[in-house]
Amino acid sequence: MYNSLIEANDAIEFLRKTKYVKELSAYKCTVCGFWHLTSK
């Protein structure tokens, strides 16, 4: 999980470069209030 959208986007950037993940986006979880990544 990530504290902010900026952190989440950084993680997405990293994963795209290293793991060739195509579809990744960040969303703010309504349960815990942190940001998560989804591959949908």
- 16: amino acid identity, one letter: R
Q: Which residues are paired to 25 by β-bridges?
A: 38
15 vs 37 by CB, closer to Zn ion: 37
Distance of closest approach, residue 20 Cβ to Zn ion, in angstroms? 25
Distance of closest approach, residue 21 Cβ to Zn ion, in angstroms? 19
Look at residue 18 and give its three-state secondary structure: helix
Buried b (16+ CB within 10 A) or exposed e, 5-20: eeebbebbeeeeeeee
Residues making contact with Zn ion (CB under 5 A): 29, 31-32
Q: Which residue is nearest to Zn ion (CB)?
A: 29
19 vs 31 by CB, closer to Zn ion: 31
